[in-house]
Structure 1
Amino acid sequence: MYLIIALGLALVVWPSIIHHAEPWGLSQGVVKCMLAAFSLLCVAGIRYPLQMLPVLFWELTWKTIWMLIVFLPAWQNGTLNDDIIGTAIECAVVIIIPLAMPWRYVFAHYVKKDSDRWRAAPVAA
């Protein structure tokens, strides 16, 4: 999963970052930089797949929220446009993440495991 994301973003995002001729607007710049950072985190995920699972959680979460809050209402209201359809196609890749997720590990380490303490435990005298 990390490799698919990293390669996809390397083909789509990095060329526009390296070779952009004009300054970007605020939101375009934010999106491009966030996607570039995400691709680098996915490269780290290739080496450390379990430690980088929160990166996949983030991807799954934001794309699911976008599909529910933006795409689904536009589809139901008949107000889909080319931009929404294009983004929905890009977000549809999110269906692969739950298939690739090591759910037993996720349950054991993110649900069942005791949480970390916010403060150090008092030292016994």
Structure 2
Amino acid sequence: MTTNLTPPKWRQHIMRVLFLLILVGLGPDHWVAVFSPSQVPDPMSGVTISFYAAFAFLCLLGIRFPLKFIPLLLIQLVYKSAWVIGTYLPAKNAGLLDDNYESWFWSMAPGIVIDLLVIPWGYVYQEYLKDFFVWKKVAA
């Protein structure tokens, strides 16, 4: 039996708003840094700038096709959670927190909560997880 867990239109509109917020929040600064950098970035900063510029561009597509671009929201949820677990908490436990860590934490934590609320988890389960460990033979 197949169930249709397509999220309602209102939820898809909320996803569109989130994609728009990400686009507006990341796009301008990072695309300017790609095409008109104020200085030549070091390699890791260049990767970061390029990633966020690409992420913002893909969010533009997510506004049009919110269900097809749910993986972007999953990436955002995972990288923000990984930062809190792998960077913020160890720094906190080591007593190394400063204003920079706190500032980043307060930009990451709300994003995690928003992603958890906006992502349609029933749809994610149905489309991505339900058959994840079911291996089907591919016809030759």
Same topology, TM > 0.5: yes
Interval of TM-score (by shorter of Structure 1 and Structure 2): 0.7 to 0.9
Aligned mates of 1:29, 1:114 — CA distance in 2:
34
Identify the residue that residue 20 of structure 1 maps to in structure 2: 37
**C-alpha distance in structure 2 between counterparts of 1:89 and 1:120, whole Å:** 47
Q: 1:17 Cα deviation (Å)?
A: 3.1
Q: 112, 125, 128: which is aligned to 1:94?
A: 112
1:34-59 CA-to-partner distances (Å, cap 9, x unmatched) read 00000011111111111111111111
CA displacement at 1:119 relative to structure 2: 6.7
1:21 counterpart letter in structure 2 = S
State yes or no: 1:47 paired with 2:84. no
| Matching of residue 37 in structure 1 with residue 63 in structure 2 | no
* 1:4 maps onto 2:21 in alignment: yes
Q: CA deviation at 1:74?
A: 1.2
The amino acid that maps onto 1:71 is Y
Match of 2:5 in 1: none
2:124 corresponds to = 106
Question: TM-score w.r.t. structure 2 length?
Answer: 0.75
Alpha-carbon distance, 1:81 to partner: 2.5
Q: What RMSD in Å do the two structures reach over aligned CA positions? A: 2.2
Percent identity among equivalent residues? 31
Relative contact order higher in (CA < 8 Å, ≥ 6 apart): 2
- The count of aligned residue pairs is 122
TM-score of the pair, normalised by structure 1: 0.83
Residue deviations 1:75-112 (CA, integer Å, cap 9, x gap): 22221133322322222222201110111111111122
Q: Secondary structure of the equivalent of 1:13? A: helix
